[in-house]
Structure 1
Amino acid sequence: MSGHETFIVQHSFIELTARERARALLDAGTFRELIGPFDRLESPWLAMQDVVCQADDGAVIARGTLGGEAAVIAAIEPAFQGGSIGEVSGAKIAAALEMAVREFEAGRKIRPVILFETGGVRLQEANLGLAVIAEIQAAIVALRRYVPVVGVIGGMVGCFGGMSLAAALCTRLIMTRQARLGMNGPEVIEQEAGVEELDSRDRRLIWSMIGGEQRAAVGLVDTLVEDDTDQVRDAVLSAFESGVPASHRTEQVDAQLERLARVDPAAIDPAVLRTLWQGEV
């Protein structure tokens, strides 16, 4: 082995817990958790259904600085109930974003980041979870007038259900190759439509349709990164430096409708979709 060889050391972002992810993105030594586990703000509904609660309900809210600027990070913990959103966890995320809106209204800047890792609404709290996801979405729209709202989908759970719509509302969206983004997860589609419609065990097919690389190729994601904490942090900082766009992706309705009009559902595959979405035909 040559003494001149250089090794690039990567530190996995995916393998970190939600709390570790938030701490890793914030400037060193500035992490401060709001409504943490010792506040014991748990779901009042899970215990009724014999589900063990978690003291932070699977959502970590952290304040600190990011690139020297004040920041707030809402991180979803995939290891608790698959990152599902219930009344408490959703309320924590919505409150963090609403707090950021009030900061701007008071003339103070803050950088908001959402670390998505969720299958969507928590089935044990269905209606309450859906209601609070709507509050999260409304807060993102209110906040992105002032500052880029940056979302990160790390993997391996991905981002599905109502929270996929929240991710789509973000000003800038960052994904790893391992992550997935879609309205319905493969297992749900298979369950409802049958394995003939979609085999959720076909990993190559699933990632070719909804994986990070495909979502970036069709323009639904702004930045594709490797599973490396430094790359994720650099992408987040770059997203804030780009500023608020003149038009958000979700406001480009006519362009999206024109794209959909060119899709033939009977003859579509990931490669064709890339071509259509890139405007080459």
Structure 2
Amino acid sequence: MTDSARLLKQHSFVELGARQRARALLDEGSFRELIDPFERLVSPWLAKQGVVPQSDDGVVIAKGSIAGKPVVVCAIEGGFQGGSMGEVGGAKMAGALELAAEDNRKGIPTAAILLLETGGVRLQEANLGLAAIAEIHAAIVDLRRHQPVIGVVAGSVGCFGGMSIAAGLCSYLVVTQEARLGLNGPQVIEQEAGIEEYDSRDRPFIWSLTGGEQRFASGLVDAYVADDTVAISQQIKDLLRQGRPEHERSSRYALFLERLGGLDTTAQIDPAAVRSLYQGEQP
């Protein structure tokens, strides 16, 4: 059995590492990693702060094809520093997206798949990480003018912080039930607003507000699939086949702002109110 076939046979996509996820999505034999761990490109800042670096800085970049179409896959390893984005990992992702856009301008129709398991900026690298994330945002906006940029949030880290903005800029978003998506993570909200407002230990409550099913019902993502490698792979193929959306979700910001303007902030939000709000229903 080939490597890709073996990975596709495995039921859970969430349980795969970043490199395995990228390999599972790409056509058999097309996986080619760029700046792999043997390049020994590590963060120059982590060791200075007593943190052991990782030789790929927690970001896997692979070129290949999906259903014969050229793609670049940027997969974040949630198991390393919570999938946080630093200078090196962010530069790898931004550079890959910029090169994909350049491919399109040269007549090579390259799309991008972003596997987002990230808490956002790496606190140990602060402004350098923020700058890298800003470059990722710009690169997504540039590339999506040519080919779809598909984001996948599978679990279990979720997608938060500046990288949730990257997710929002994607042409399409795919989530599982295990996924979470939000600007601020539960612990940050609890720290700033208090446990009465948001208990970060209340997992059912958190998933009911920021989980994949809720985000899909609220119209903030495009596809809600089971944690199944084959199902996720097929969903990505279907979206690639659709091509670029007629209207990017981020271009509809006025609609979302109008709906958020009707939010009653005097009471704690509940899942039903969130769905009604985003679906445009009157409270």
Same fold (TM over 0.5): yes
Aligned-partner SS, 1:158: coil
Aligned-partner SS, 1:62: strand
The whole-number CA distance in structure 2 between the counterparts of 1:221 and 1:10 is: 25
Deviates most, 270-279 or 13-22: 270-279
The whole-number CA distance in structure 2 between the counterparts of 1:160 and 1:196 is: 21
The whole-number CA distance in structure 1 between the counterparts of 2:281 and 2:10 is: 36
The whole-number CA distance in structure 2 between the counterparts of 1:57 and 1:245 is: 32
Q: Any stretches of 5+ residues in structure 2 without a counterpart?
A: 1-8
> How many pairs does the alignment contain?
273
Kindly provide the CA deviation profile for residues 215-244 of structure 1, in whole angstroms up to 9, marking residues without a partner as x: 001011110111100111111111111221
Q: CA deviation at 1:10?
A: 6.0
The whole-number CA distance in structure 2 between the counterparts of 1:246 and 1:30 is: 30
Q: Which residue of 2 aligns with 1:266?
A: 266
TM-score, normalised with respect to structure 1: 0.95
The whole-number CA distance in structure 2 between the counterparts of 1:10 and 1:79 is: 19
Q: CA deviation at 1:272?
A: 1.5
Question: Is 1:66–1:111's contact at 8 Å kept on the other side of the alignment?
Answer: no
Q: Which residue of 1 aligns with 2:170?
A: 170
The whole-number CA distance in structure 2 between the counterparts of 1:91 and 1:249 is: 25
Q: Any stretches of 5+ residues in structure 1 without a counterpart?
A: 1-8
Q: How does 1:32-181 map to 2 (within 5 A)?
A: 32-181=32-181
The whole-number CA distance in structure 1 between the counterparts of 2:187 and 2:273 is: 24
Kindly provide the CA deviation profile for residues 39-78 of structure 1, in whole angstroms up to 9, marking residues without a partner as x: 0110000011111010000000001111111111000001
The whole-number CA distance in structure 2 between the counterparts of 1:170 and 1:97 is: 12
Question: Is 2:71–2:111's contact at 8 Å kept on the other side of the alignment?
Answer: yes
| 1:272 aligned partner, one-letter code | A
The whole-number CA distance in structure 2 between the counterparts of 1:257 and 1:49 is: 41
Aligned-partner SS, 1:197: coil
The whole-number CA distance in structure 2 between the counterparts of 1:133 and 1:76 is: 13
Q: CA deviation at 1:200?
A: 0.6
Percent sequence identity over matched residues?
Answer: 60
- Pairing 1:278–2:279 present: yes
Question: Is 1:72–1:112's contact at 8 Å kept on the other side of the alignment?
Answer: yes
Aligned-partner SS, 1:152: strand
| 1:275 aligned partner, one-letter code | S
TM-score, normalised with respect to structure 2: 0.94
Deviates most, 256-265 or 84-93: 256-265
Q: Which residue of 2 aligns with 1:4?
A: none
The whole-number CA distance in structure 2 between the counterparts of 1:271 and 1:10 is: 35
Q: CA deviation at 1:136?
A: 0.1
Aligned-partner SS, 2:124: helix
Aligned-partner SS, 1:137: helix
Q: CA deviation at 1:253?
A: 2.3
Relative to structure 1, the CA distance from residue 14 to residue 105 in structure 2 (aligned partners, 3 Å threshold; closer, same or farther) is same
Kindly provide the CA deviation profile for residues 180-229 of structure 1, in whole angstroms up to 9, marking residues without a partner as x: 00111101111222212211110110000000000001011110111100
| 1:136 aligned partner, one-letter code | I
| 2:69 aligned partner, one-letter code | E
Q: Which residue of 2 aligns with 1:15?
A: 15
